[in-house]
Amino acid sequence: MGNKNSSNKKNIKKINRIKNNRKDKSIYIVISKTSTFPSHVIKMWTKEPYAHTSIALDIELNEMYSFARRKLHNPFYCGFIREDITTGVFGRDVGTTCRVARLKVSANEYKKIIDTLKKFKKNDKYYKYNYVGIVGIMFNKAVEREYNYFCSQFVYHVLKNAGVETFDKKAGLVRPEDFRLWDELELVYEGKLKDYRQYLKDNQITEKCDRDYFAECMIKDVENKAVIAL
């Protein structure tokens, strides 16, 4: 009888492990290019079409996060923010272009991503933009400091912290280009950001998301939601 119970427990653990490792959750990686001066400078330097990276928890990008400016007219007051594609710089710069791609993750990875964002939200006042890191990346030198991130470094950190296999490089050297070329991503849309939600509607593209996670995480009320920076 004891052996049977032990065997059942092992089978349950195995089933749970398989379930938790199944890639049946989705998150979204958004790279974009606005008409801000920093964005133009980055594009000129990298020769890349996009200059900013964000991570979203739903296909409509209602829950999207990054490191960016917190005030529309102040590019130097930056940190962890919840982004809104209809307000701030995104709302102002109607010519903003973007690339939205889906990343399939496991239930465990998804939960860890939520938990990481929750920590960022809880301590958002301590986080600053990694300006020194931007200079460092220009010289292929990773500058990584606690509580300091630039956008692509932040997205990479969230994924790596969740156990998602990404790029074989230091976080301080990750660029939007890395996400554009990442073959693990499934392209959803590429074009004007202002047309994105209408594109989803016109093509009847929907995806169920875990709103219970959002409520549990309490990350909807990040102060000064959205702009975008650099």
CB 55, CB 27: distance < 8 Å:
yes
Contacts for 94 with CB less than 8 Å, ≥ 6 apart: 192, 194
Between 114 and 13, name the one with better pLDDT: 114
What is this structure's pTM? 0.82
pLDDT band at 226, cuts 50/70/90?
A: very low
CATH architecture of 23-217: Alpha-Beta Complex (3.90)
pLDDT tens, residue by residue, 177-212: 999 999 999 999 999 999 999 999 999 998 876 655
Q: Give CA torsion, residues 101, 128, 97, 222, to 10 deg.
A: 70
Task: Give bridge partners of residue 104 from the DSSP assignment.
Answer: 26
CB 36 within 8 A of CB 52: no
- Boundaries of every domain in the chain: 23-217
When pLDDT is cut at 50, 70 and 90, the band that residue 20 belongs to is low
